[in-house]
Structures are given as structure tokens and as C-alpha cells.
Amino acid sequence: MSADYTLSVSSEGKNWICKVCFHVYAEETAFEDLAEDWCCPVCGAPKNCFVCRPIEEGKS
């Protein structure tokens, strides 16, 4: 099974990635400002299933 993922870097230099489906949150609203009951738009996982991944220098 293949997937088409588009990674985008937030202005803070980090990505929030769903641990369930690997969706990368890439919206205008800062992830930290989302409501606690926000869910992944792809798989429905709760906000606490996302992990913050800093962007390494020279990688995107």
C-alpha cells in the first residue's frame, strides 16, 4: 500500500505528526491552539496521538 504524503514545515520549524496514520498537521492555526477535543481529520485519532518532530537543519 502506498501513500502520498506532503510534508510542510510550520513557521516554528516543527511538524506535528499523527502516530496512528502519519498525517502531518499543516494548517494556519498553531497546533497548540487547537481545542483539546480536536481530532485527526484523516483517522479520527485524538490530539494527544500527535507528536512534535523538530525539523533538522538542511531537511524538510
**Per-position b or e across 3-36, b if 16+ CB within 10 A of its CB:** eeeeeeebeeeebbbbeeeebbbeeeeebeeeee
- List, in sequence order, every residue forming a beta bridge with 3; answer none if it has no partner: none
Identify the pLDDT of residue 14. 82
Q: Where are the domains of the chain?
A: 14-54
* pLDDT band at 59; cut points 50, 70, 90: low
The average pLDDT across 10-36 equals 88
User: If DSSP codes are grouped into helix, strand and coil, which group holds residue 51?
Assistant: strand
Fold of 14-54: Rubrerythrin, domain 2 (2.20.28)
pTM of the entire structure? 0.69
pLDDT in tens, 15-24: 999 999 999 9
The average pLDDT across 3-32 equals 77
Q: Which of residues 23 and 7 earns the better pLDDT score?
A: 23
As a whole number, the mean pLDDT across the chain is 81
d(CA 37, CA 50): 13
